[in-house]
Amino acid sequence: MSLTPEQKKQMRTIGHKLNPIVTVAGKGLTENIQLEVDRALDDHELIKVKFVVGDREVKRALIQELCAIVEATLVQEIGNIALIYRRAAEPNPKLSNLLR
């Protein structure tokens, strides 16, 4: 999914106040992490994921792999935090970070 620059700007503004929901560490992208990110995207649409890995290239590869697995779009990457987005089929106004 491709986002316009205006959409990315709006999502970065919303994402600024969010806290990371999932942390990816030394074991990489385990099945449980993938399932948790998938569930969080279904609920919230826009989430932050923290990557605690040593190398920048490994971190970028993990971010790209995670986005491909959960079919999400990378909105922003700053330091160890990635802001990712996936549109929900039926967003819940009480849970969605975009509708609140």
| HSE-up of residue 85 (Cα within 13 Å, Cβ side) | 20
Q: Apex CA 32: angle with CA 2 and CA 71, to 5°?
A: 15
pTM: 0.93
Given a cut of 70, whether residue 1 has pLDDT beyond it is no
Given a cut of 90, whether residue 43 has pLDDT beyond it is yes
Q: Which domains does the chain show, CATH number per domain?
A: 5-85 (3.30.110.60)
Identify the CA nearest to 51 among candidates 93, 8, 20, 80: 80
Phi and psi, residue 80, nearest 5°? -95, 10
Output Rg (C-alpha) for the chain, integer angstroms: 13
Lookup result for tokens 């449980």:
32
Distances (CA, A) of 1 to 65, 67, 68, 74, 84: 15, 11, 11, 10, 12
**What is the tens place of the pLDDT at every residue in 22-39?**
999 989 899 999 999 999
**What is the tens place of the pLDDT at every residue in 44-93?**
999 999 999 988 999 999 999 999 999 999 999 999 999 999 999 889 99
